[in-house]
Amino acid sequence: MNVNYNRYVSLMRKISDINGSMAVLSWDQEVYMPAKGAEIRAQQVATLSGIAHELFVGNEVGDLLELLSKDDSLDVHQKKNISETLYDYTRRKKYSTEFVMKLSECTSQAFQAWSKAKNTSDFSLFAPHLKKVVQLKREECELLGYESHPYNALLDLYERGAKVADLDILFNDVKSQLLPFIKQIAEQPKIDSAFLFKHYDKDKQWAFGIDCLKQMNYDFESGRQDISSHPFTISFNPNDVRVTTRVNENDFREMIWSCIHEGGHALYEQGLKIENYGLPSGEAISLGIHESQSRLWENNVGRSLAYWKCNYPQLQTIFPDHFGKVSLADFYRAINMVEPSFIRTSADELTYHFHVMIRYEIEKSLIEGSIEVEDLPRIWNENYKKYLLIDVPSHKMGILQDVHWSHGGFGYFPTYSLGSFYAAQFFAKAKNHLPELEQMIEHGNFKPLLQWLRENIHQYGRFYTAEELCTKVTGEKLNFRHFMDYAKAKFSNIYNL
């Protein structure tokens, strides 16, 4: 029994209790809170956020970390927890309580403004709030410190170790390898997907989405699904991990794949060990690795032929008028149709990365100060024209579509693309380890895949960094080749290339 280590654990858990409470407040805010509750909710969140911050950067934690960093009696897991907490602590010490509360209050109001702005497609309602958020984010970069580029400081918050220099190379690969492939696809005959955009009853969609989550082995005794304007996953602890979705009655695709996507996130959180609650070993590594879990389920599994060999018959039973006369092959081609579009969350697997790239470049420029909030609608629309070859019809369908900036989440978007690339690399290895994986999926048996993810990824929490884990599991560092190989094999087949 190490008294100091035990005290450290109990302090970390106290802080997690507060953070988990804040997560409940956030969840409620996005799914059930009445409109007028917003103002004091922002105060409540700011208060809890301040208390958690003060506890974490307080002398007791600092003193314990100093003692425990030199304590050779700790085992390797305990040492890792201490070094990870020390890393977090050092970073957090850079924030004043005042700054934390200011940011929390500002983003809570920005979120409300964004909601209204999006509903009315009126960017001017959001702009003044966004300006404040951007200003605070620029301050945050200075406060955190960085090498080479201020945006690196923000990238590090979501994907530790990610750098502008590396992402620039990566998105250049996207441009040089993926863009020509997409152009090749664009020359092929158009796939008929009109049947996906008929009217799909809300309740039937909802029930099918719940079934998909159950099939993935998402544990409904440790979670639930609700409706929100933007789907998300939120964890209060591994025994209470909630997902949300939205239903579009005129686009069959939206709800199903958001269910599977959020389900993938949730399986990661439910797979963290409850005995590590409050400790780094009980937390997800990074957003990129998190996104690898959602993308793997959404795309590598949920848009595969094997998945629909298993589930299409049920879908035909639920929607006989829609799918009764559509063959599995045609359905599979339609759900994998590659076509530039306005909305990131409903983009296909390939053009998706251009949505991310555009946001990445805007964020980088905003943070370095080479553009300002006023310029965004113009720059957004120009880039959609340049890379996706489309004219954005409204701000609702354009610059206002994502919630992230209202939350201050600059540096977040690139992790979506990283996620897909990690997913491709992990899935290739999983297939390698489980040669029958495709047949298992065809039979609706997802337990071996989940078991593989639990054993190789989920269980470790932050015991390894993203790079270490990737190397441990796949034998090599993150590599764009796996995504490109996957994309070429799948879409060459679909488009007869």
Question: Which amino acids are annotated catalytic?
Answer: 262
Q: Which of 441, 196, 191 has its CA nearest to residue 333?
A: 191
Report whether 218 contacts 263 (CB < 8 A): yes
* Residue 335 Cβ vs a second copy, minimum distance, rounded to whole Å: 30
How far is it, in rounded angstroms, from Cα 411 to Cα 430? 29
DSSP letters for 113-129: HHHHHHHHT-HHHHHHH
**Burial tier of 48 (Cβ tally within 10 Å: 0-12, 13-18, 19+):** middle
The residue assigned the tokens 């409050």 is 278
CA distances from 299 to 455, 467, 496 (A): 21, 22, 20
**Single-letter amino acid, residue 188:** Q
* Residue 29 Cβ vs a second copy, minimum distance, rounded to whole Å: 9
Helical residues (DSSP H) of 32-96, grouped into ranges: 38-56, 59-69, 76-93
List the structure tokens of 342: 């306005």
Nearer to a second copy, 12 or 170 (CB): 12
* Residue 35 Cβ vs a second copy, minimum distance, rounded to whole Å: 5
Nearer to a second copy, 239 or 465 (CB): 239
Q: Which residues contact 321 (CB under 8 A, 6 or more apart)?
A: none
Nearer to a second copy, 156 or 219 (CB): 219
* Residue 36 Cβ vs a second copy, minimum distance, rounded to whole Å: 4
CA distances from 121 to 124, 251, 343, 394, 400 (A): 9, 21, 14, 7, 7
Q: Which residues contact 247 (CB under 8 A, 6 or more apart)?
A: 202, 205, 206, 227, 254, 255
Binding stretches for a second copy (CB under 8 A)? 13-14, 17-18, 20-22, 24-25, 28, 32-37, 39-41, 43-44, 46-48, 51, 219-224, 226, 236-237, 239-240, 274, 277
* Residue 41 Cβ vs a second copy, minimum distance, rounded to whole Å: 7
Report whether 263 contacts 297 (CB < 8 A): yes
Nearer to a second copy, 43 or 90 (CB): 43
Laid out side by side, the sheet with 233-237 consists of 225-227, 240-245, 233-237
Report whether 256 contacts 209 (CB < 8 A): yes
* Residue 145 Cβ vs a second copy, minimum distance, rounded to whole Å: 31
List the structure tokens of 330: 């045609």
* Residue 271 Cβ vs a second copy, minimum distance, rounded to whole Å: 14
The torsion defined by the Cα of 116, 117, 122 and 128, in degrees rounded to 10, comes to 120
Nearer to a second copy, 147 or 226 (CB): 226
Q: Which residues contact 116 (CB under 8 A, 6 or more apart)?
A: 122, 125
Nearer to a second copy, 51 or 440 (CB): 51
Nearer to a second copy, 37 or 369 (CB): 37
- The packing angle between helices 123-144 and 150-158, to 10°, is 100
Nearer to a second copy, 23 or 367 (CB): 23
* Residue 59 Cβ vs a second copy, minimum distance, rounded to whole Å: 17
Report whether 38 contacts 8 (CB < 8 A): no
